[in-house]
Structure 1
Amino acid sequence: MQQPPYRPKSNTGMIVTITLVSVLVVVGGLIGVLAAVDGGKRKPSSVADSGYDYPTATSSTYSATSTPTSSARPTSSTSATRSTPTQTRTTTSTPSGPKPVLRTKDNPLFAGDHGTNTVTCNLPKWQSTPAAAQAFFTAAMPCFEAAWAPVMQRANLPYVRPKVAFPSGKRWESGCGVADSTKEDVAAFYCSPDVTLYMPFEGLQTNVNGNKIGAYLALFAHEYGHHIQAMSGSLKAAHQESYELGPDSAAGLEIQRRKELQAQCFGGMWFAAAWNGKGSITDAVVRDMIADGYTRGDDNNPGAPRDHGKRQNYGNWQKHGYEKNRTYQCNTYLAPANSVS
């Protein structure tokens, strides 16, 4: 059988092939998880991906750079919060189960040898209409959950299924504010306050991508990567670090790039799981995903904040996640500065 052009490398160990038997259920602790993810002092909490704004049809890659690498796997621990009775006999309690850990480089997500579980995704045929796109991404959601929920369980981190919204029109509201496409390009984004992936049809670039489902799934996988960051606590930690450094400062923007490029890497990890399960994720779909990554990046928008990374690194990290399929390999917070520029 023909081997894929970008198959997972054997030198990082076999990709996890355990059949998903059960998905971690933490619905009872949802309120506590969301409070931990988005509580405290108010800071920007949406992830509006300018890397997925409209690239030019003639976008090309930079010259090759070194493959992104990550350092040794750190370890960390979490502490439990106990319920405390009040003098009025009512009690306040913290939901049991895993909690997000507000750390970036030493988050438990990057400790251990965690790869996405193999999943088989049989998706409907792509059609470039709002209704068909909604059906396509809705069908893909269980495949993402089956690949990622066990990773969070093994890392002792919380997991809840995100919602997916398909807004239409020029102006609409999200948990992170108002989106107005008459004033700026509105691409897909993840909003942590309402735990929702927003997938407006107008931001899918169907005029560029045609029927290449690898490009559409790469977008969805990137946003789902932000959800994994949110569940782990690293997304909020990155927001805090950038806020404290100054969001528009060089150091603050670098933190934002590390966060975005990590979402790219996580996106690649999902494709590794789905390619191994075959189904709709063929060699051609993977090739389209890899190629799409190298068309995205800050250098498509001269003068815009450098908060996502240039095209070469945007593509490199997505490809890296696909080839390695390990969360510690996606620890961009330990990566050299030139791989997150």
Structure 2
Amino acid sequence: MDTPERRGGNPLAVVSVFAVVVAGVLGLAVVPRLGLTRPVEGRAVAAAPIEADPASGEPEGNRPRSVYRLGDHPLLTSDRRLGQVTCELPAFGTGDEQLAAFYREGVVCLDRAWEPVLAEAGLPFATPELNTGPELEDGPCGAAPSADEAVAYYCGSNRTVYMPTARLRAPGGGEDRASSHLATLAHEYGHHVQALAGMLRAGNRRIAEAGETDPAGLEMSRRLELQANCFAGMFLASASGRGSVDRVMAEEAVADFRYAVVEPPERNGHGSPANQDTWARAGFGGGTSACNTFTADAGAVG
């Protein structure tokens, strides 16, 4: 069956980032680690089908279309690498306007990295909406998660990345580390790539069919989340050593994914710290075929 497009209490509604699951499917809290924190992702609602712009005049049969498949998805069966991109990010600061500007330019750079690859695969492209309000607001995915549930998330219903500045500069968010903020944004954009490609909808359908807390449903959630880490790693490699993203910053951003709290098996929808790190680094060193979490052994996504 189809995954609901609105949350309505359903924890499949959002992909939340940089919070740690400690109780319940979306019982999230921030846990410190020697002055650093590493949040873990939540769940996603599938995006509506994405078509090419009808006003483009392109024949309907030639329009790029999302493909609702997983392990045999064309984006994954052919190895496609992101071209080198030069990100011109503004000077980093933790004020509301400084963070909003940093995120906006980050999305510009992510767009430049991902659009050619999606086009080559015959898939649609659209830049995500970006919400940088200080706090999260209710929206198409339902009631906004509280501060101890999530500090950022992606809503597939309106294809929006939510990066609330007040939460992200607080303990448990990126705080004053530009690399952590970039890692957060790149992961959330990874879910946008999944939505554009059709994998987010296909994966959420599997979760809904299995049951959100069923072992099979949790495993599919981990496959989606770990792939978003991998896509983030691909972007960080494409931007590394150019413009505003020097190699140190890129490496620090990739390393950020390893700082996760171990979830109990009955609530593990995100993967172990080791696997989160492994998949981010797989993307950092490879292309889209390296991010095929859907064909990986169960242990690699545990």
TM-score, normalised relative to structure 1: 0.72
Per the alignment, in what secondary structure is the counterpart of residue 14 of structure 2?
A: strand
Find out whether 1:181 has 2:146 as its counterpart: yes
Point out where structure 1 has 5 or more consecutive residues left out of the alignment.
1-38, 61-79, 81-92
Aligned-residue offset at 1:50: 5.1
2:215 maps to: 250
2:300 maps to: 339
Count of aligned pairs between the two proteins: 266
2:32 maps to: 56
1:321 maps to: 283
Aligned-residue offset at 1:304: 7.6
Q: Indicate conservation of the 8 Å contact 1:168/1:201, yes or no.
A: yes
Per the alignment, in what secondary structure is the counterpart of residue 49 of structure 1?
A: strand
One-letter amino acid matched to 1:332: T
2:273 maps to: 311
One-letter amino acid matched to 1:253: L
1:145 maps to: 111
CA RMSD of aligned residues (A): 2.5
One-letter amino acid matched to 2:167: G
Aligned-residue offset at 1:40: 5.7
Work out which of the residue numbers 155, 168, 191 in structure 1 matches 2:134: 168
- Sequence identity (%): 32
Counterparts of 1:336 and 1:130 in 2: how far apart (Å)? 42
Seen in structure 2, the aligned counterparts of structure 1 residues 315 and 59 have a Cα distance that, compared at 3 Å, is farther
Q: Indicate conservation of the 8 Å contact 2:133/2:164, yes or no.
A: yes
Find out whether 1:229 has 2:199 as its counterpart: no
1:157 maps to: 123
Work out which of the residue numbers 112, 120, 134 in structure 1 matches 2:100: 134
1:266 maps to: 231
2:81 maps to: 115
Counterparts of 1:296 and 1:147 in 2: how far apart (Å)? 27
Q: 1:108-136 deviations in whole A, cap 9, x for unaligned?
A: 11122211121101211111122110011
1:283 maps to: 247
Aligned-residue offset at 1:338: 1.2
Q: Indicate conservation of the 8 Å contact 2:19/2:149, yes or no.
A: no
Higher Cα radius of gyration: 1
Work out which of the residue numbers 129, 136, 155 in structure 2 matches 1:191: 155
Q: Indicate conservation of the 8 Å contact 2:229/2:276, yes or no.
A: yes
Q: Indicate conservation of the 8 Å contact 1:190/1:223, yes or no.
A: yes
Seen in structure 2, the aligned counterparts of structure 1 residues 205 and 307 have a Cα distance that, compared at 3 Å, is farther
Seen in structure 2, the aligned counterparts of structure 1 residues 55 and 294 have a Cα distance that, compared at 3 Å, is farther
Counterparts of 1:304 and 1:181 in 2: how far apart (Å)? 22
2:64 maps to: 98
Point out where structure 2 has 5 or more consecutive residues left out of the alignment.
21-29, 37-50, 52-58
Seen in structure 2, the aligned counterparts of structure 1 residues 120 and 335 have a Cα distance that, compared at 3 Å, is same
Q: Indicate conservation of the 8 Å contact 1:48/1:187, yes or no.
A: no
Per the alignment, in what secondary structure is the counterpart of residue 197 of structure 1?
A: strand
Q: Indicate conservation of the 8 Å contact 1:111/1:155, yes or no.
A: no
TM-score, normalised relative to structure 2: 0.80
Q: Indicate conservation of the 8 Å contact 1:187/1:200, yes or no.
A: yes
